[in-house]
Chain A
């Protein structure tokens, strides 16, 4: 249903002002030269020229700690209440195309067999305005996983800065049109434009089909150990990743009052698979690193038909020991 529009930077400001009162707007914000998604209420607070945020925007759908229900003990019985549904719509403003595409994966994953209520409610009220990349860095590799810096996949609206402080707007979905309708007169109709000259050049670093095949075939290899010696098993890569979905379920509170909460977890943690008996199916870090890589490129394809990596490069940028998923894939491509 793509239709194409233009909006000036000034009008974008007005568009924001039109959206802001009725919606919760999450946008990248600069804090000490790093970028984080934060709720914003002023257009000026939004960072429009950034390469990547430290953490992805997945938490708008799948928060770090998500309350599943609250319980309260009374007369030996328990009352169970579900958290009240969110009222406002949430708009993520200025997310990068790679992140936007992660929402395609996330919604597929969480709604495939069992409809996760929390996620479904949030998804229904979620609007994504993505911003094509003017710049990229060494860690970016969206083009290697079937995407590009101006992809509209997963977006409701996509903005690409063209010339004269003007944004080329692609209305990708009905939801996108809904947003336009807040203040349609700020937009000007146009024809389809070739965005390629306005966007960053992200060189392709590996062939994803080839990579998948290589990774598929190798389970036992000394390369897994060699490649992961530096990995310390912290959870940054999974926590920063827009498509990592592993979680833990815990009760917070006492036997009288409390909540059952879903917390992020990471398959890099050594206790992730450990049984109560003490047996651990993945006792060493190389096995956990292998699981992560194979999950991204092999297992999720088998289960959902989708690669669970969008090439945002966050895991590479944030790894304290410079572990590099691209390098790993390249190593196996070279096998």
Chain B
């Protein structure tokens, strides 16, 4: 057989399961076959198809950084059939993974610039991959600012890492929760991401912003970014259309002629505006 079956998944063993927030878990996955691991390479921003045999495939990003070798991580919320099946998996179970698919964040282009990460709720996982990637190449970037918000304190994901970033002198971390979502001992901000962004107003010159979160957050954050000096080309996000094949064939993620799985999911705001509003 000269062509390879692109739908054959890598077998991955669940090494570690972390409960991040209600209904949200992170899996640390290791390749069952060592040769798969040595052939595997990905860039930050790419995603994959994770599958539970018998339940099917589900699409989400690779939440770990390519600089962390030997494993990949994914974070997902229990929502549909496959994520429910994944949610019920145990450490040691074997699941399927195929990928990486899609484009990636153009980290090379950002060298020498400041990087602002803005994430809301379950929008942090794709951003986290970039954050670690940048932190592992810390010298190449100027200021690194992370603004992360969630509905409630309970809903914040990667709580350990948030603590770690908070301690680092070379990272500015701002965490916020929606009004009413705070606990008595909450030390972060209280307020919605756009207003906290406005309050912090990091400089937009010679900087890029990566925005990921619920559509309403993105919608309200963009004008503020433009206001504080970011350009449409320097604002990046990642699209989350429904995907099935990951390779630009099944048609589900098509936005006009653009396939989110192939031409995306990473897109800058300037390009995003050229797409029909079908995402």
Contact = CB atoms under 8 A, between A and B. Distances in A.
Interface string B143-162: 00000000000000000000
Contact of A68 (B7, B241, B248): B7
B172 to A, nearest CB: 30
A62 to B, nearest CB: 10
B245 A249 contact: yes
A299 B7 contact: no
Interface residues of B, number: 45
A255 B254 contact: no
In the complex, which of the residues B52, B247, B276 has the most CB atoms of chain A within 10 Å of its own CB atom? B276
A246 B254 CA distance: 10
Contact of B256 (A121, A265, A299): A299
A273 B54 contact: no
Please classify the interface of chain A as helix (H, G, I), strand (E, B), loop, or mixed, using the class held by over half of its residues.
Answer: mixed
A112 B1 CA distance: 18
A277 interface: yes
Contacts of B256: 294, 299
Nearest to B57: A249
Contacts of B257: 298-299, 302-303
Contacts of A273: 241-242, 252, 278
Contacts of A272: 242, 251-252
A3 B9 CA distance: 46
Contacts of B7: 68-69, 249, 260, 262
Given A110-B249, A116-B6, A245-B249, A275 B242 contact: yes
21 contacts: A69-B8, A77-B32, A78-B94, A109-B249, A114-B6, A117-B4, A245-B251, A247-B245, A253-B54, A254-B54, A260-B56, A260-B57, A265-B250, A273-B242, A273-B252, A275-B241, A281-B255, A287-B278, A291-B278, A294-B256, A299-B254
Given A85-B1, A276-B83, 12 more contacts: A69-B7, A76-B94, A77-B94, A80-B11, A113-B262, A114-B248, A116-B6, A247-B244, A247-B249, A248-B244, A272-B252, A287-B278
Interface of B: 1, 3-9, 11, 32, 51-57, 79-80, 83, 92-94, 96, 215, 240-242, 244-245, 247-252, 254-257, 262, 276-279
